[in-house]
Amino acid sequence: MGHPTQIPPPLTPTFLKLTFPSPRVVLVTMDRPSAMNCINAAGAEELSAVWTWLDEEPNLTVAVITGAGDKAFSAGADLKEWSQSLQPGGPERRVTKSKGVGLSRRRGKKPVIAAVNGLALGGGTEFAVNCDLVVAAENASFGLPEVTRGVAPFAGALPRLIRSIGLQRASELALTGQRISSRQAYEWGLVNKVVSQKGVVQEALRYAALIAANSPDSIICTRAGLREGWAKADVEDAVQTTMDNEFAELQKGENIKEGLKAFAERREPRWKPSRL
């Protein structure tokens, strides 16, 4: 069975599985359940390649990422591999060219939804912090235990956490190394919705389908405006940046004409792949 994309997906033989559960949506599953879906160097390269492909693939609008098994979303970096690389004569630790394995520090064009099905530790939490929406299972938990292992959360979560949940809550999470439950993460504003473990992927896919039903151009432009506002201190500067770039391109495309025409004609719009 083929894939519904114009550009073939990157090869992901060791860490990821890609499926296409509904139009314009890709489900990305981290598939190392025996290792709590922790991310080794090979897995980091696969993740980086997938997010680059997502932004380039015209037939996709949104991605959902989850973990295989019933224990972990992701336990973060492969600490055993990292430890071996620090030993005399040990293998060199490869670092992916894309910062933060292409997600923790990803800017990108298209939204990614996290379906957190279990433990999200270290890089797993950093993934969730930078995702556009987060759906979490009732049994899921989040944590940045790096300080308990002599390392530090370097993949971009710290400044993003401050903007999302505030300095004091971010400090509690990062400086103590303690975990918080999905319910507490929801109360803090880190999670959009808490559901049963059985329903977490389906709920994330429901959000994805709602997003994918809209204009691909508008999704890219709107997300850019949200991200500019999140990343920059000056609100007007963020607005103007999006106006000058994504919104200017949106107005040149066919989807804006189609959306307005469909409204006037009282019918559903027929979107074309994004030109942004």
Q: Pairing mode, if any, of strands 72-74 and 62-67?
A: unpaired
> Using CB atoms within 10 A of its CB, is residue 154 exposed (0-12), middle (13-18) or buried (19+)?
middle
Of 47, 35, 160, nearest to 99 (Cα)? 47
| Ordered strands of the 25-30 beta sheet | 16-22, 25-30, 62-67, 112-116, 133-137, 193-195
Residue 223: Cβ-neighbour burial (10 angstroms; 0-12, 13-18, 19+):
buried
Q: Which of 81, 126, 203, 246 is catalytic?
A: 126
Query: Which residue in 93, 39, 74, 82 sits closest to 144, CA to CA?
Result: 74
Q: Which of 45, 46, 81, 146 is catalytic?
A: 146
Strands of the sheet containing 72-74, edge to edge, are 72-74, 119-121, 141-143, 179-181
Q: Give Cβ neighbours of residue 168 (< 8 Å, ≥ 6 apart).
A: none
Length of the chain: 276
Between helix 167-176 and helix 157-165 the angle, nearest 10°, is: 140
**CA-wise closest residue to 95 among 134, 40, 145:** 40
Separation CA 132–CA 227 (nearest Å): 9
46 is catalytic: no
146 is catalytic: yes
**Positions marked active-site:** 126, 146
